[in-house]
Amino acid sequence: MHQDAEYWNPEFELLDREAIETLQLQRLKETLERCDRSPFYKEWFQKAGFDPASIASLADIARLPLMDKATLRNTDPTSFLTVGMEDIVRMHSSSGTSGQATVIFHTAGDINTWSNMVARCIYMAGVRRSDVFQNMMGYGLFTGGLGLHYAAERIGAMVIPAGSGNSKRQIQLMMEFNTTVIHIIPSYALYLLEVFKEMGVDPRRDTHLRIAVLGAEPHTEGLRSRVQEAYGLEAFNCYGLSEMSGPGVAFECPEKKGLHVWEDYYLLEVVDPVTMQTVEEGEEGELVFTSLCREGMPLLRYRTRDLASTYAGDCACGRSHRRISRIKGRSDDMFIVKGVNIFPMQVEKILLAALGIGSNYRIILDTIESKDEMRVLVEVSGEMWHGEVNELNRLKAGIAEELRREILISPVIELVEPGSLSQTEGKAVRVTDKRNQARRD
């Protein structure tokens, strides 16, 4: 591959709108045909009175019901398969979800398609075979690590599979192997600056960093600017979700005016999260995706709960794939801390088990020394203790340990007096996120 080319897959990246939609319709028909072989979809189609052969236009997809995480959680994942289990080469599971984890199965073809898609993303950002790509994301069930790893290798860059954490080692690796590209969680990028300082290393002067892929966590333009400024590099926003294979579903081009959704791989709908009707172009709504190339486990009309808007018109980069804004929020109450998806219900479940009774609680998310901090405030009621301070200390330690097991990060537990979290009206506010205020500098 000539790596002075501007595009990784020009034949797909440069399709005009009409050609994209023609391709989408063809792939949608193939996907539906394939779905008709899966026990889950067979029943799903039947229930909806939907004949997969009746699809004549992309808009016809709206005749199918939407599907969400609950559908995935409550269904045996193998029943989605359109191939035999022997054709599956890998599974991934979403990070720290509420209740049962959701599982996605991949064929060799799926891994290949996904790797190519992510390679397209980072090639677009300027990653080339001469680069040294330090992948600072968790490897494992989480899709962030392996997704980018395969992509960077496909381009021919040298990958340093550093994984997450171990900050000093990360910096040592950067120095020793002349890392030029990092894939990193944005809040961790900020935190790492403190470690650079401690070590007396200036990332601008003492490293060869030139590109950062920021992923796994919604972040602000202000945060990106800070990372670019402090590290002296170009940072690109990466969007994805494990249900749609993982990172790289949408990615910023050098214009940085929105993230291109790869529409040859996905059919994007933006709907009003209440009425479920498609919103006007440019209006904020929930992103709904249908996979168009997945063999093993296609997903149709999957609700992401992520809120964003689309940008109208062609992009100066030459691509006609539609662009979405940064993720502006969630249509449910899920929040993300250090790259882990967390639902208040998970915290509630642990508290109930630890205390034996329901308790008023509040989750406070904050940025402390450039790092995400999660605090859980729990009201101490008369039913949960017998008047001794040791009991409370044990209770606190027990809750912390159980939460760490459930959500994989360690929140700070604070016991507060009864009534201090109550509010006079409206729905209980379970989560107060102060992180964005802190980052808007």
Partner 1 sequence: MAQQINVFAQNQPGRLERLTQVLMEIGINIRAITISGSEDYGVLKLLVDDPPKAFEALQVEGFSAFMKDVVAVVMDDQPGGLFRVCRALGERGVNVEDAYGFVVKDRQTAILVIEVEKIPEAEEIVTGAGFRIMSDEELYSL
Phi-psi sector, 92: left (phi>0), alpha (psi -120 to 50), beta = beta
Residue 386 beta carbon to partner 1: minimum distance, rounded to whole angstroms? 6
Among 416, 421, 431, 438, binds partner 1 (CB under 8 A): 416
42 burial (CB, 10 Å; 0-12 / 13-18 / 19+) is middle
Task: Give every CB contact of residue 341 below 8 A, 6+ residues apart in sequence.
Answer: 94, 95, 96, 97, 334, 335
Residue 374 beta carbon to partner 1: minimum distance, rounded to whole angstroms? 16
3-state SS track over 399-435 = HHHHHHHHHCCCCEEEEECCCCCCCCCCCCCCEEECH
| Segment near partner 1 (CB under 8 A); pick from 18-26, 363-371, 416-424, 430-438 | 416-424
Shorter beta-carbon distance to partner 1: residue 420 or 423: 420
| Segment near partner 1 (CB under 8 A); pick from 256-264, 294-302, 323-331, 412-420 | 412-420
- Give the Cβ contact number of residue 52 at 10 Å: 18
Residue 417 beta carbon to partner 1: minimum distance, rounded to whole angstroms? 5
Among 175, 415, 421, 438, binds partner 1 (CB under 8 A): 415
Residue 338 beta carbon to partner 1: minimum distance, rounded to whole angstroms? 23
The candidate with the shortest Cα–Cα distance to 392, out of 406, 403, 376, 381, is: 381
What is the C-alpha to C-alpha distance for residues 114 and 89, in angstroms, rounded to an integer?
A: 13
Please, which of residues 325-384 interact with partner 1 by CB under 8 A?
Answer: 380-382
Residue 393 beta carbon to partner 1: minimum distance, rounded to whole angstroms? 6
Question: In which element (H, E) is residue 372 found?
Answer: strand 371-379
Residue 384 beta carbon to partner 1: minimum distance, rounded to whole angstroms? 8
424 binds partner 1 per the rule CB under 8 A: no
414 binds partner 1 per the rule CB under 8 A: yes
11 binds partner 1 per the rule CB under 8 A: no
Estimate the share of the chain in helix, then strand, then coil, as percent rounded to the nearest 5: 35, 25, 40
Residue 245 beta carbon to partner 1: minimum distance, rounded to whole angstroms? 44
DSSP string covering 82-138, please?
SS-GGGEEEEEE-TT-SSSPPEEEEEHHHHHHHHHHHHHHHHHTT--TT-EEEE-S-
Shorter beta-carbon distance to partner 1: residue 47 or 386: 386
Among 166, 178, 420, 437, binds partner 1 (CB under 8 A): 420
Q: State whether the Cα torsion 71-406-194-396 is positive or negative.
A: positive
Shorter beta-carbon distance to partner 1: residue 382 or 426: 382
Shorter beta-carbon distance to partner 1: residue 336 or 380: 380
The candidate with the shortest Cα–Cα distance to 132, out of 159, 155, 153, 151, is: 159
What is the C-alpha to C-alpha distance for residues 183 and 134, in angstroms, rounded to an integer?
A: 6
Shorter beta-carbon distance to partner 1: residue 209 or 395: 395
Judged by DSSP in three states, 359 sits in coil
441 binds partner 1 per the rule CB under 8 A: no
417 binds partner 1 per the rule CB under 8 A: yes
- Tell me the C-alpha to C-alpha distance, in Å, between residue 366 and each of 193, 353, 372, 413: 18, 26, 6, 14
Q: x/- site string to partner 1, residues 376 to 395, per CB under 8 A?
A: ----xxx--xxxxx--xx--
Among 418, 429, 432, 440, binds partner 1 (CB under 8 A): 418
Shorter beta-carbon distance to partner 1: residue 278 or 381: 381
Shorter beta-carbon distance to partner 1: residue 179 or 360: 360
Residue 399 beta carbon to partner 1: minimum distance, rounded to whole angstroms? 14
Residues in contact with partner 1 by CB under 8 A are 380-382, 385-389, 392-393, 414-420
